[in-house]
Amino acid sequence: MTYDLNNRTAVVTGAASGIGAEIALVLARSGAKVALLARRADRLTELAEKIAAEGGQALAVAADVTGDLTEAVETIHTAFGRVDLVVNNAGVMLANPITEGRDDEWHRMIDTNLKGLLNVTRAFTKDLVEAGAEGTADLVNISSVGAHLAFPNYGVYTATKAAVTHLSANLRTEFGPLGVRVTNVEPGLVSSELGDHMDNPDVDAHLAAWREQVPPLNPADIGDVVGFVTSRSKQVNLRQIVVLPTVQV
């Protein structure tokens, strides 16, 4: 499905795959100019070419959300001008028992899922506030239903997502009065590469079995939700949305 996002300029982090790629596609098909941000330049270029072939406008910007984003922001401004729609979607999920003490994984998740989100938000705050004062501006954070759940092995991942959910509610109190709509989207199980970077065969097997039991959402289902929420009238803020596969309890 497409929406009316003509004259909007978006940045989607984690656009190299999965949910982020599908969000970028929906936004571009809805008329937005879309900057695609992630680390894998080849994936981003491929997606930008696909969007261009469909008649849309996209820019591949290889960058790490945990690093210095000055150059990325300049590249986006030069190509597209001021950004008025930011989707913080980049994330990693590295599940292991907390008792194993894998602080390398803890740091990667906290740095990407929480600090990276803050880093990107900071990089585009001026744009969003200016756009919010003149018209419509959106900040969309992709959290997880895991923000509200507790289960073994995913403790640090779900803690980062609980932090994203809480941060989104707080960001809303600062950005909302400035005309920047903050939306927190909390997906359930979605088919993607998210679990591919884990190194624990037991946890892998558990995730595979879960996906057998609960047919996951498609990344495009989340893309559709983001297209919907960002195309409402500017006074309408669907501030927190849990999106689950119908059979996920």
| C-beta neighbour count of 161 within 10 angstroms | 28
SS3 (DSSP) at 186: strand
> Phi and psi dihedrals of 169, rounded to 5?
-60, -40
| Options 24-32, 37-45, 79-87, 147-155: segment touching ligand NDP (CB under 6 A) | 37-45
* Helix (H), strand (E), coil (C) string for 53-101: HCCCEEEEEECCCCCCCHHHHHHHHHHHCCCCEEEECCCCCCCCCHHHC
Count of positions on this chain that bind ligand NDP (CB under 6 A): 30
Gap between the Cα atoms of 160 and 81, Å rounded: 32
Gap between the Cα atoms of 160 and 218, Å rounded: 23
Cβ closer to ligand NDP: 42 or 134? 42
Nearest to 14 by CA among 66, 49, 74, 56: 66
Q: Strands 9-13, 180-187: parallel, antiparallel or unpaired by DSSP?
A: unpaired
> Using the rule CB under 6 A, is 121 a contact of ligand NDP?
no
Q: What is the footprint of ligand NDP within residues 39-68 (CB under 6 A)?
A: 39-40, 43, 64-66
The binder of ligand NDP chosen from 190, 198, 203, 225 (CB under 6 A): 190
Question: Who's near 68: CB < 8 A, 6+ residues apart?
Answer: none
Catalytic sites, residue numbers: 157
Cβ closer to ligand NDP: 51 or 93? 93
| Options 69-77, 129-137, 172-180, 189-197: segment touching ligand NDP (CB under 6 A) | 189-197
Cβ closer to ligand NDP: 128 or 142? 142
Cβ closer to ligand NDP: 9 or 141? 141
> Using the rule CB under 6 A, is 144 a contact of ligand NDP?
yes
Q: Please, what is the minimum distance in Å from the beta carbon of residue 240 to ligand NDP?
A: 14
The binder of ligand NDP chosen from 11, 36, 73, 91 (CB under 6 A): 91
Binding residues vs ligand NDP (CB under 6 A): 13-14, 16-20, 38-40, 43, 64-66, 89-93, 112, 116, 142, 144, 187, 189-190, 192-194, 219
